[in-house]
Amino acid sequence: MVETDYYELLGVERTADDRTLKAAYRKLAMEYHPDRQGGCKDSEAKFKAINEAYDCLKDPQKRAAYDRFGKAAFQNGGGGGSPFGEQGFDGFSDIFSSIFGDFMDPRGQRQNAARGSDLRYDLELTLEEAFHGKEASITVEALARCDTCGGKGCAKTDNCAATCKTCNGMGKVRAQQGFFVVERGCPTCRGSGEVIADPCRACEGEGRTVKRRALSVKIPAGVDEGTRIRVTGEGEAGVRGATSGDLYIFVHMKRHPIYAREGTTLVADCPVTFTTAALGGVISLPGLDGAKVDLKIPAGVQSGEQIRQRGAGMSILNSRGRGDLVARIHVETPTRMSAKQKKLLEEFRETETGDECPSAKSFFGRIKDAFGV
Strand-pairing partners, residue 230, are 248
Going by C-beta distance under 8 Å and a sequence separation of 6 or more, which residues neighbour residue 219? 123, 125, 129, 130, 133, 134, 135, 136, 229, 249, 251
Q: Which of 214, 166, 191 is nearest to 114 (CA)?
A: 191
Cβ-contact 272, 287 below 8 angstroms:
no
Please say whether the dihedral angle defined by the alpha carbons of residues 175, 177, 178 and 182, taken in this order, is positive or negative: negative
HSE at residue 2, side-chain half, CA atoms within 13 A, is: 4
Cβ-contact 246, 232 below 8 angstroms:
yes
Q: Residue 189 annotated as binding?
A: yes
Q: For 195, list phi and psi in degrees, rounded to 5.
A: -120, 150
Angle separating helix axes 41-57 and 18-32, nearest 10 degrees = 170
Q: Residue 186 annotated as binding?
A: yes
Cβ-contact 192, 135 below 8 angstroms:
no
Q: Residue 149 annotated as binding?
A: yes
> Is 367 in a helix, a strand, or coil?
helix
Q: Residue 40 annotated as binding?
A: no
Strand-pairing partners, residue 309, are 325
CA distances from 56 to 9, 66, 179 (A): 12, 8, 20
Q: Residue 167 annotated as binding?
A: yes
Going by C-beta distance under 8 Å and a sequence separation of 6 or more, which residues neighbour residue 281? 272, 296, 297
Q: Residue 203 annotated as binding?
A: yes
Cα 326 from chain centre: 29
Q: Which residues are annotated as a binding site for Zn(2+)?
A: 146, 149, 164, 167, 186, 189, 200, 203
Q: Which residues are annotated as a binding site?
A: 146, 149, 164, 167, 186, 189, 200, 203
